[in-house]
């Protein structure tokens, strides 16, 4: 497993991302291998807890490696993406529901697929370099990997704000928004991991005072609007050009769907409900949405000039989120 170092050390199961040159981007095989490791350790008496970390100082995991999904979609093979997203979401749910503590050390960029790994751990540690975001609407997707579940539980209108703008959170904001639990200077992480390996006891984790959260005092009342249009009108009235600039560059369909999904997830009782809803959108994204154009503009050609064309009407959003019937995720696959 060249992209993940999976092993046991003392009383800990250890999973380390090992592709720092690619910002530890998560591909399909990595998602499957990570899930398999969790299954192997579930009833292993040697493993008291699981530690997930990453090599390099630039990123814990900057997102999903979607190159194969993009190429498949261009060729009309949408099943490549559907299989990837399904297996990734099964892994996300396994982390969220794991019966043993899972401790994630999240430095640098933690975006998209990285949030799906670290954001659902039971003990989420961040440091001074941490930058957490769900920027999927910029590539024609929605905040997935359980992102709508996390956003729905953020205080006030932070969930709507982050879903529409893809805004980045440092350690203080991440803790305030519920995407992290503990601030600890990164120089102290190696020693803590050693103690966790030796003791298998999360009582070893002692937090420092968290940095101040700017989100805690920011006026986000405009994001209470019923639609993206109402929100942008309110932002324009408030003169919030920073938020408007972010919104104007994103896929209208993705934002409309993301807004509905965050609000729907506030009524969910378990993460699987949110993931199932997310899968309905991503299952259709390369065939019926703006995904291929978003990836082209942001990742392939890098011209940063996407030509969004997907319908963003309420009727089309409803179509994107309709049941998949026999293609719905079978959650009994989670063991």
Domains of the chain, residue spans: 4-333
| Catalytic choice (81, 113, 118, 138) | 113
DSSP H or E run through 107 = none
Instruction: Report, in angstroms and rounded to the nearest whole number, the Rg of the chain calculated over CA atoms.
Output: 19
CATH superfamily of this structure's domain 4-333: 2-enoyl-CoA Hydratase; Chain A, domain 1 (3.90.226.10)
| Catalytic choice (87, 136, 173, 290) | 136
In tens, the pLDDT along 68-79 reads 999 999 999 999
**Residue position matching structure tokens 């291998």:** 33
Q: Give residue 165's pLDDT.
A: 97
Residue 301, class by beta-carbon neighbours within 10 Å (0-12 exposed, 13-18 middle, 19+ buried)?
exposed
Active site residue 144: yes
The confidence band for 202, taking pLDDT boundaries of 50, 70 and 90, is very high
Would you mind telling me the total number of residues written for the chain in this entry? 335
The confidence band for 1, taking pLDDT boundaries of 50, 70 and 90, is low
333, two tokens:
């696959």
Structure letter (DSSP) for residue 325 = G
How many CB atoms sit inside 10 A of residue 93's CB? 26
Instruction: Tell me the C-alpha distance between 99 and 49, whole Å.
Output: 9
| Catalytic choice (13, 64, 114, 166) | 64
Among candidate residues 11, 121, 136, the one with its CA nearest the CA of residue 60 = 121
Active site residue 136: yes
How many CB atoms sit inside 10 A of residue 192's CB? 18
Instruction: Tell me the C-alpha distance between 12 and 6, whole Å.
Output: 11
| Catalytic choice (87, 88, 144, 278) | 144
**Cα dihedral 110→130→51→177 (10° resolution):** -80
- The per-residue pLDDT of the chain, averaged, comes to 96
59, two tokens:
């990123």
Instruction: Tell me the C-alpha distance between 319 and 198, whole Å.
Output: 52
Cβ within 8 Å of residue 330, ≥6 positions away: none
| SS3 of residue 46 by DSSP | coil
211, two tokens:
């940095």
The confidence band for 334, taking pLDDT boundaries of 50, 70 and 90, is very low
In tens, the pLDDT along 240-274 reads 999 999 999 999 999 999 999 999 999 999 999 99
Tell me the whole-structure pTM to 2 decimals. Answer: 0.96
Backbone angles phi, psi at 58, to 5 degrees: -90, -25
Instruction: Tell me the C-alpha distance between 247 and 119, whole Å.
Output: 24
Q: Give residue 219's pLDDT.
A: 95
Among candidate residues 141, 66, 140, the one with its CA nearest the CA of residue 306 = 140
Active site residue 327: no
The confidence band for 335, taking pLDDT boundaries of 50, 70 and 90, is very low
In tens, the pLDDT along 95-142 reads 999 999 999 999 999 999 999 999 999 999 999 999 999 999 999 999
């Amino acid at each position: 497993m060249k992209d993940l170092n999976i092993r046991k050390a003392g009383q800990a199961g250890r999973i380390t991302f090992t592709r720092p040159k690619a910002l530890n981007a998560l591909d399909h095989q990595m998602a499957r291998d990570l899930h398999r490791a969790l299954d192997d350790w579930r009833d292993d008496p040697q493993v008291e807890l699981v530690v997930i970390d990453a090599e390099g100082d630039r990123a814990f995991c900057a997102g999903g490696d979607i190159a194969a999904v993009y190429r498949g979609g261009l060729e009309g093979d949408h099943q490549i993406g559907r299989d990837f997203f399904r297996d990734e979401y099964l892994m996300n749910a396994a982390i969220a529901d794991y019966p043993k503590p899972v401790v994630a050390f999240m430095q640098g960029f933690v975006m998209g697929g990285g949030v799906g790994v670290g954001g659902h751990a039971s003990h989420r540690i961040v440091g001074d370099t941490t930058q957490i975001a769900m920027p999927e609407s910029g590539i024609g997707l929605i905040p997935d990997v359980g992102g709508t579940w996390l956003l729905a539980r953020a205080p006030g209108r932070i969930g709507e704000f982050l879903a529409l703008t893809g805004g980045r959170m440092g350690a203080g904001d991440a803790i305030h928004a519920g995407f992290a639990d503990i601030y600890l200077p990164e120089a102290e992480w190696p020693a803590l991991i050693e103690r966790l390996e030796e003791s298998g006891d999360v009582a070893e984790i002692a937090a420092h005072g968290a940095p101040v959260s700017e989100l805690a005092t920011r006026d986000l009342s405009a994001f209470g609007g019923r639609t993206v249009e109402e929100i942008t009108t309110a932002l324009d009235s408030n003169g919030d050009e920073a938020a408007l600039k972010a919104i104007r560059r994103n896929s209208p369909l993705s934002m409309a769907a993301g807004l509905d999904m965050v609000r729907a997830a506030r009524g969910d009782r378990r993460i699987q409900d949110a993931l199932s809803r997310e899968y309905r959108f991503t299952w259709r994204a390369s065939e019926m949405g703006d995904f291929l154009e978003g990836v082209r503009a942001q990742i392939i050609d890098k011209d940063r000039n996407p030509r969004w064309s997907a319908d963003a009407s309420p009727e089309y959003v409803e179509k994107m989120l309709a049941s998949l019937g026999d293609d719905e995720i079978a959650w009994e696959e989670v063991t």
